[in-house]
Amino acid sequence: MTHAVPEPKSEQELLHRAWSVAGLTLGELGVRVGVEVPEEGVRGKGVAGTILERVLGATAASRAEPDFVALAIELKTIPLAASGKPKESTFVASISLSAMADTDWENSVVYKKLAKVLFVPVEAASKTPLRDRRIGRSYLWVPTVEEWELLRADWEQLAVMIGRGDVEQITGHLGQVLQVRPKAASSRARRRAPDEEGAVQWTMPRGFYLRPAFTGAVLARLRAESDSR
Amino acid sequence: MTHAVPEPKSEQELLHRAWSVAGLTLGELGVRVGVEVPEEGVRGKGVAGTILERVLGATAASRAEPDFVALAIELKTIPLAASGKPKESTFVASISLSAMADTDWENSVVYKKLAKVLFVPVEAASKTPLRDRRIGRSYLWVPTVEEWELLRADWEQLAVMIGRGDVEQITGHLGQVLQVRPKAASSRARRRAPDEEGAVQWTMPRGFYLRPAFTGAVLARLRAESDSR
DNA sequence: CAGGATCCACTATTGGATCCCG
DNA sequence: CGGGATCCAATAGTGGATCCTG
C-alpha cells in the first residue's frame, strides 16, 4: 500500500505541494500513490486527474463539493501541447435539467466549480507515452470580472434554451467560452427519464465544458502575472 | 466580336449594372464579352475578374489607377462558399520595396486601392463548373473608421519590417486583416534586383492580401446595413 | 511582368463519441 | 452512473505555390 496524503491546510500549502511535483512524470507520481499508468493513451483517460487528486491530498469523498473542501478549491489537470496551449476542452460539470430550471447563475454548479480552480498542466504530446508525461507549473485561477462575464453570458443563453425545451437544439457550437457536449460512456447511453407529460428530458447525458481557447487565454494571463511578480 | 461596354458615368449607374447581372452565370457573361470560360478550375484563375471588368465597363487602360478611373472605384470579384463566407483571400496590390520605403499609409497603394471597392460575389462551390457559377448581389465598400484602423496597423507593422530589412522574415502569419504572401507565376520566379550594396530586395515577388475572415466580416456588415434600409 | 486571382497540402480546431474507476 | 477526462474523424483555416492574359 501507499502513503495517503492529508488534505492541505492552506492555499499556500496546496500551492507548494503542486509546485513541488512540477517536472515529475505521471509514472513517478503513479507509483507514489498506487495508480498504474496504462501504456495506451486511450486507456488512460482521467488517470492524470486521479493521480493528482491523491498526490495533492484532495478530499476523496462528497463529489458535490470542491476537491479541496476546506479551501473551496477545485482541481483540474489540463493537457498542454508543446506550444503551451491546451489540447483539450475542460470538463466542468454534468447538466441536471431540474437543477438548471430553478437555479440562477450565481447558484449554479458551474459558478461554484469555477470560483477557485487549481490548474495543473500536464504535458500531452501524443508521441510521449502517458507515463513519461511531465507535470508543469500549476496556477490558481480566480476568474476576473471579464472572465466571469463571458461565462455568465454563455451559461444564461444555454439555461434559457434548456428552460424553453430547446434542449435537442443545443450543440457544441454554442457558447463563446462555455459549451455543452455529450458526457457519457457511449452515445447509446440514455438517462432514465419519464417520457410522459411532454416533460423536457435529455436523451443522453451532457456536460458543460470550457473551450481550449479560453483556458489557453486564462493560463497565458496567469503566466504573465506570475512573471511580472 | 462583341459589344464594348462604356465606362459607367456614376456610382448609381455602376451599381445598377452590377445588380442587373446578379443571378447570371460566368458562362453567360463570358459569351456577352467574348471571354471563353475554361472547364477546369485551375485554368480559370482570374477569369471571373476579367469578365466582370468588361461586363461592367471598367477602364481597361492604366493599371496604376482604379478600375473605374472617373469614379475612383476598384473592382474585386470575391469567391463565396455556400455559407456566404469568402473562400479565398483578396489580392490588393503587389509590393514595391522602393515605394514602401518612402511612402506613408495615406499615400500607400493599399490605402488608395481600398478607399472605395465594388465587391462582386461569385459562387465558388468547387463542385460547380466554372461556367455555371452565379454572380451574387454586389456591394460598394467604403471602410469604416474601425476597418481603416485595422488595415493601417497591419500595414505599418509590415512597412517597418520592410524598412528594417527584415523582409525575409515576413510570412503570411503576420497581420490581423492584411497579410503579405508570394505573388508570382512560380516560386522560382525572381524579381531582377541589384544585389550590390547589401540593398534590401525581395527574392521573389510578393503582394498584400486581405484575409477571408476580414472580407467576410465586411460583407456581413454591408448585407446587414442593406437589409435594414 | 503586372494584374486578375484560385489551388491545395498541410495544420489547427471542433465537437460528437468514448474510456476508466469506484 | 458520475466524476476524472481524452480520442479522433471531419471541417475549417492558413499560407506558400501556382495559373492565365495582354
Distance, angstroms, CA A35 to C1' D15?
Answer: 45
- The grid coordinates of residue B18 equal 452590377
Report, as an integer, the average pLDDT of B136-158.
96
According to DSSP, the β-strands at B139-141 and B117-123 are antiparallel
Answer yes or no: are the C-beta atoms of B145 and B130 closer than 8 Å: no
The nt closest to B171 (CA vs C1′) is D15
Considering only CA atoms, which residue is closest to the C1' of nucleotide D15? Answer: B172
CA dihedral B39, B44, B50, B52 (to 10 degrees): 60
Label residue A198 by pLDDT band (50, 70, 90): low
pLDDT digits (tens, 9 = 90+) for A86-143: 999 999 999 988 888 788 999 999 999 999 999 999 999 878 899 999 999 999 999 9
Rounded to whole angstroms, what are the CA distances from A13 to A54, A57, A117, B21, B38?
Answer: 15, 11, 15, 72, 72
Helix (H) or strand (E) holding A54: helix A47-56
Task: Specify the pLDDT at position B3.
Answer: 64
Residue A217 has which C-alpha cell? 487565454
- Rounded to 5 degrees, what angle do the CA atoms A189, A191, A195 make? 125
If you ran DSSP here, which 8-state letter would residue B86 be given?
B
All structural domains of chain A, each given as residue ranges with its CATH number in brackets, are 11-228 (3.40.600.10)
Res. B190: pLDDT tops 80: no
Higher-pLDDT residue of B43, B211: B211
At B176, list the grid cell.
Answer: 490581423
On the 0-12 / 13-18 / 19+ scale of CB atoms within 10 A, B129 is middle
> Whole-number mean pLDDT of chain A?
89
pLDDT mean over A141-149: 96
Average pLDDT of the residues in B217-225: 94
Region B142-155 average pLDDT = 96
DSSP annotation of A200: -
Distance A91 CA to D6 C1' (A): 11
Residue nearest to nucleotide C3 (CA to C1'): B63
Å between CA of B74 and C1' of D16: 26
Nearest residue to D3 via alpha carbon and C1': A63
User: Cα A229 to chain center, whole Å?
Assistant: 27
In Å, what is the separation between the CA of A42 and the C1' of C18?
9
Instruction: Report the percentage of chain B scoring pLDDT > 90.
Output: 68
Q: How far is the CA of B83 from the C1' of C14 (A)?
A: 17
Q: Has residue A190 got a pLDDT over 80? A: no
Strand blocks (E) in B30-116 = 74-80, 90-94
Q: pLDDT higher for A197 or A108? A: A108
Q: What gap in Å lies between CA B42 and CA B212, rounded to an integer? A: 20
Check pLDDT > 70 for residue B84: yes
Pairing label, strands B117-123, B74-80: parallel
- Give the count of beta carbons closer than 10 Å to the beta carbon of residue A48: 24
| pLDDT score at A148 | 97
Q: Identity (one letter) of the amino acid at A86?
A: P
Q: Residue B6: enclosing H or E segment and its boundaries?
A: none
Task: Judge whether B119 and B15 are in contact, CB under 8 Å.
Answer: no
Which nucleotide has the shortest C1'-to-CA distance from A173?
C15
The C-alpha cell that represents B225 in the structure block: 446595413
Whether A173 contacts A158, CB under 8 Å: no
Nucleotide D16's nearest residue (CA vs C1') is B182
Q: Are the C-beta atoms of residues B17 and B42 closer than 8 Å to each other?
A: no
Which pTM was predicted? 0.80
What is the arithmetic mean of pLDDT over A59-82? 89
In angstroms, how far is D15 C1' from A125 CA?
25
With 50 as the cut, is the pLDDT of residue B196 above it? no
Cell of A139: 496556477
Q: Find and list the nucleotides of strand C having atoms within 7 Å of a protein beta carbon.
A: 1-8, 13-21
Å from the A6 CA to the D9 C1': 43
